[in-house]
Amino acid sequence: MFDINKIRSDFPVLAREVYGKPLVYFDNGATTQKPARVIDAVREAYDSYYSNIHRGVHALSDISSGKYENAREKVRAFINAESKKEIIFTAGTTASINLVAFSFGERYIKKGDEVLITALEHHANIVPWQMMCERKGAVLKVIPINDDGSLNLEKVNELITGKTKILAVTHVSNAIGVINPVKEIIEAAHKHNIPVLVDGAQGIQHGHVDVMDLEADFYVFSGHKVYGPTGIGVLYGKRKWLEDMPPYQGGGDMVDRVSFEKTTYNELPFKFEAGTTNFVGAIGMAEALDYIGSIGMDNISKHENELKHYAKERLEQLGGLTFYGTTANTISILSFLVDNIHQYDAGMILDKMGVAIRTGSHCAQPVMSRFGIDGTIRASMCFYNTKEEIDILCEGIEKVKMMML
């Protein structure tokens, strides 16, 4: 049973007011709110068994280590990875992509090689590749997007050459909500033996992700966008790549034996987890995955889809709105502009009505450039949002039009 009142009561912050009005939180693309059981799991870690992992023989260290490794197993099961060795805890999506861009680059990229990304990417899936290409003398190539925001898939085969070494693509666009056919893209790349990194920052929380079914070589996401804590994220990588790639950072835990002459490295996944990781964050994130698992990904997708259609219909009725990402295959993100009103003005008026939406380029300036704009208003909804909240957003947009036109 999908009980929206019960679900909302699981999130303490949703009960608060902003400027004396009920909070309408439509900024879930930027970060999600936390259910009480995630907050409790983090509190419990600090309250009752906090101690550094993997390093001690004492009781508390044993409990922390066990909970951390249990969190790894929960992540593995959630994305259906073959082995826990393929689950690396990082600080988040950005950290995971930087790790792969650096380490894969060191191992496999040489002068004149090519890296393929898409025009739908968040800066986090552009800049690390650009930096690596600069370092290695490699070339960054970009799959373009169509007017409806979908990827121009015909160009994929055209852009793949004998020099292409890796393809990086977002599962879902944070800026305009478009869902990419990642399975199809992976299949096309694999025909040429090209590995694929999928940026799952906006994909993992909206539907089932099965990395073995996708055959993704790398799949990355952030804890804070999946109802877990900040500062924790995941890099899933196929074992054959992770075994072969050199470590990214050096330090404690990632080593086997250290001497001044030579250091040997720890086995997976620890080879890529230098220093004290955010183990409390990992424990909190695993609790969040358990929580959304208990609601059911199908129930989540169904509710979010209903919200998206309702919001689109209601907003369209207001008139004067231009939507970006109009292809049918999208998540519950609506990205739009109202007449010729600047998005920041709209955002400020909506804020005073208790409605939290995001304005600007959403860390995806090339997407905005593609459409000849410098930003949009983005309402990103998730399973704890309601149609009543969408009605409040619509009242807000009407007010924006009244005040600004």
Beta-strand runs (E) in 184-304: 196-199, 218-222, 233-237, 255-258, 263-265
Closest distance between ligand PMP and the C-beta of residue 122, in Å? 3
The answer for 238, left when phi > 0, alpha when psi is -120 to 50, beta otherwise, is beta
By the rule CB under 6 A, 90 interacts with ligand PMP:
no
Alpha-carbon Rg of the chain, whole angstroms?
A: 22
By the rule CB under 6 A, 332 interacts with ligand PMP:
no
User: For residues 97 and 286, which CB has a smaller minimum distance to ligand PMP in the complex?
Assistant: 97
By the rule CB under 6 A, 199 interacts with ligand PMP:
yes
Q: Which of 124, 295, 307, 338 binds ligand PMP (CB under 6 A)?
A: 124
**Amino acid present at 19:** Y
Does the active-site annotation cover 363?
yes
Instruction: Fill in the per-residue mask, 218 to 237: x = in contact with ligand PMP (CB under 6 A), - = not in contact.
Output: ----x-x-------------
Q: Which of 32, 98, 170, 376 binds ligand PMP (CB under 6 A)?
A: 170
Cβ-contact 231, 92 below 8 angstroms:
yes
Enumerate residues 6+ apart whose C-beta is below 8 A from 63.
49, 51
By the rule CB under 6 A, 363 interacts with ligand PMP:
yes
Cβ-contact 86, 78 below 8 angstroms:
no
Q: Token pair of 136, please?
A: 């290695």
Catalytic residue, chosen from 133, 363, 382, 394, is 363
What is the rounded distance in angstroms from the CA atom of residue 251 to the CA atom of residue 313? 54
Closest distance between ligand PMP and the C-beta of residue 132, in Å? 16
Beta-strand runs (E) in 225-347: 233-237, 255-258, 263-265, 321-324, 333-338
Cβ-contact 286, 71 below 8 angstroms:
yes
- Residue at shortest CB range from ligand PMP: 174
By the rule CB under 6 A, 174 interacts with ligand PMP:
yes
Burial class (CB in 10 A: 0-12, 13-18, 19+), 50: middle
Using a CB cutoff of 8 Å and minimum separation of 24, what contacts does 32-36 make? 32/205, 32/224, 32/225, 32/226, 32/227, 32/382, 33/227, 33/384, 34/227, 34/228, 34/229, 34/288, 35/10, 35/11, 35/227, 35/288, 35/291, 36/10, 36/11, 36/12
Closest distance between ligand PMP and the C-beta of residue 170, in Å? 5
By the rule CB under 6 A, 93 interacts with ligand PMP:
yes
Q: Which of 138, 182, 201, 392 binds ligand PMP (CB under 6 A)?
A: 201
**With CB under 6 A, what is the number of residues at the site for ligand PMP?**
14
Closest distance between ligand PMP and the C-beta of residue 204, in Å? 10
User: For residues 222 and 266, which CB has a smaller minimum distance to ligand PMP in the complex?
Assistant: 222
The closest of 225, 215, 284 to 96, measured between CA atoms, is 225
User: For residues 92 and 195, which CB has a smaller minimum distance to ligand PMP in the complex?
Assistant: 92
Closest distance between ligand PMP and the C-beta of residue 110, in Å? 27
Cβ-contact 217, 243 below 8 angstroms:
no
Q: Which of 64, 164, 180, 202 binds ligand PMP (CB under 6 A)?
A: 202
Which contiguous run of DSSP H or E holds residue 154?
helix 154-159
Closest distance between ligand PMP and the C-beta of residue 232, in Å? 10
CA separation (Å) from 85 to 76, 237, 267, 321, 323? 9, 9, 8, 48, 42
CA separation (Å) from 106 to 66, 247, 254, 373? 33, 10, 18, 37
User: For residues 92 and 281, which CB has a smaller minimum distance to ligand PMP in the complex?
Assistant: 92
User: For residues 199 and 304, which CB has a smaller minimum distance to ligand PMP in the complex?
Assistant: 199
Closest distance between ligand PMP and the C-beta of residue 145, in Å? 14
Task: Please identify, among the stretches 72-80, 194-202, 313-321, 350-358, the one whose residues bind ligand PMP according to the rule CB under 6 A.
Answer: 194-202
Closest distance between ligand PMP and the C-beta of residue 200, in Å? 8
Task: Please identify, among the stretches 154-162, 177-185, 198-206, 384-392, the one whose residues bind ligand PMP according to the rule CB under 6 A.
Answer: 198-206
User: For residues 94 and 118, which CB has a smaller minimum distance to ligand PMP in the complex?
Assistant: 94
Cβ-contact 79, 289 below 8 angstroms:
no
Q: Which of 28, 94, 118, 385 binds ligand PMP (CB under 6 A)?
A: 94
User: Which residues lie near ligand PMP (CB under 6 A)?
Assistant: 92-94, 122, 124-125, 170, 174, 199, 201-202, 222, 224, 363
Give me the active site residues, please.
363
